[in-house]
Amino acid sequence: MKKSFSVMILALSFFLAYGTVTGQDKQPGAGMKPALLVIDIQNEYLPFMSDQDKKMALFMINGAISIFRERGFPVIRVYHTDPRWGPKPGTEAFEFSKSVIIKPEDTKIIKNYPSAFKKTGLEKILRDKGCDTLFLCGLSATGCVLATYHAAADLDFEVFMIRDGLISPDSELTQAVERICETLSFGALNLMLKNGQK
């Protein structure tokens, strides 16, 4: 019931936002050019995250990666390192967990700040690909994912978090982030991607 209600609200919000074009209603996601940002699911940080979050989130993140790939949309993997504290690129601690189905050909961003946009080439990569709508997943929901979400909105991207695809040290705080941000269920994400442009 809750899932179908969320999809109805999403569809209604797109209808209200875009109205009609040449007499036909626009479908959710019609005309958007999406990209998926998979943020900081690194061996260094994952052990400190909530086990409750990890169980569902890793499943949802891999599901999101799969449907983006199936539809030919970009998957961008984001890594965090601190120049003084690491983890150092090239080490096992720096790498993504093997449970995440990223590929070497997925675009890679390395950041030194919470936002994936600050002093990186991410914005240029997205603009060059023509992407205008971003879907975020990973960790920490309360840190780097949230910082990237707000930075994306400030740069005029449409931006959504993927519900149950977020991880933080405290699952209650993860849920709070999902409540205060634009967050989509997997079903709503799938519906929008069906209408996206490559």
State pLDDT tens for residues 48-100. Answer: 999 999 989 999 999 999 999 999 999 999 999 999 999 999 999 999 999 99
Q: Taking Cα atoms as reference points, which of 88, 83, 73 lies closest to residue 37? A: 73
Please say if the pLDDT value at position 27 is more than 90: no
Cα distances (angstroms) measured from residue 149 to each of 50, 119, 137, 142 = 21, 16, 10, 11
Please say if the pLDDT value at position 142 is more than 80: yes
Q: Taking the mean position of all CA atoms in its chain, how far away is CA 121? A: 17
pTM across the whole model? 0.85
Q: Taking Cα atoms as reference points, which of 54, 113, 50 lies closest to residue 78? A: 113
Domain ranges of the chain: 31-194
Average pLDDT over residues 44-51: 95
Superfamily in which the 31-194 domain is placed by CATH: Isochorismatase-like (3.40.50.850)
Dump the DSSP string for the chain: -HHHHHHHHHHHHHHHHH-EETTEEPPTTTT--EEEEEE--BTTTGGGS-HHHHHHHHHHHHHHHHHHHHTT--EEEEEE-BTTTBPPTTSTTTSBPTTS---TTSEEEEESSSSTTTTSSHHHHHHHHT--EEEEEEE-TTTHHHHHHHHHHHTT-EEEEEEEEEE-S-HHHHHHHHHHS-EE-HHHHHHHHHT---
Which amino acid makes up residue 115?
Answer: S
